[in-house]
Amino acid sequence: MLRSDRYPVQVIWGELDPALKVDTHGEAARRASNADTIHRLPAKHFLQEDQAPAIGDLVEKISSTAG
What domain range includes position 46? 11-65
pTM above 0.95, yes or no: no
6 in any annotated domain: no
Q: Is 27 exposed, middle or buried (0-12, 13-18, 19+ CB in 10 A)?
A: middle
The rounded distance, in Å, linking the Cα atoms of 37 and 17 is 18
Q: Is residue 4 part of a domain?
A: no
In a domain, 41, yes or no: yes
In a domain, 5, yes or no: no
- pLDDT value of position 8: 79
Supply angle C-alpha 28, 39, 20, rounded to 5: 45
pLDDT averaged per 10 residues in sequence order, the chain, 67 residues = 77 95 97 94 94 94 77
The count of structural domains within the chain is: 1
